[in-house]
Amino acid sequence: YSVKVRWNACHAAGMLLSNPLAASPQPPWGRRLLAALESTAVGADNFKVRIQATRSLRRATSRGAHVQEGPSERDDASLLALRWSGLVSAAVGEAHGLDSAQYKYKDTLRLEQRLAALTVSAMLLPGDFAGARLG
């Protein structure tokens, strides 16, 4: 897919996540959407796409958007801890795929990754790290 299509998909996902009617209760596609945004936020080749994916992740501001109560709660909580760890690693690590055309977006990407890590950290509970295999 083109960069424009990927950026638009991330933007649309963010709009969807910010809509309280679409996000509550957690929809069956929510887990896959958040995983796709996380993967894009830390691994896409284009920095503008990574920035938009990270901004969209920040739109899921409630713990319920990430962790569904019930039998999968422990797994969801571990995934939330891993999501936080991935965002922190991306924010402090070296930016891969950096070329001269994308260099001007590097600082914006770092800022968005740090803000997303803070957003996710506000949802974490101490027990969330128990099942997560960090680092």
- As a whole number of angstroms, the distance between CA 107 and CA 94 comes to 12
Structure token pair of residue 16: 């969807």
- E-strand spans in the chain? none
Structure token pair of residue 59: 């739109």
Q: How many residues appear in the chain? A: 135
pLDDT tens-digit series, residues 35-81: 999 999 999 989 999 999 999 999 988 888 888 877 888 888 888 89
pLDDT tens-digit series, residues 82-92: 999 999 988 88
- Nearest CA to 79 out of 110, 37, 16 is that of 37
- Predicted TM-score (pTM) above 0.85: yes
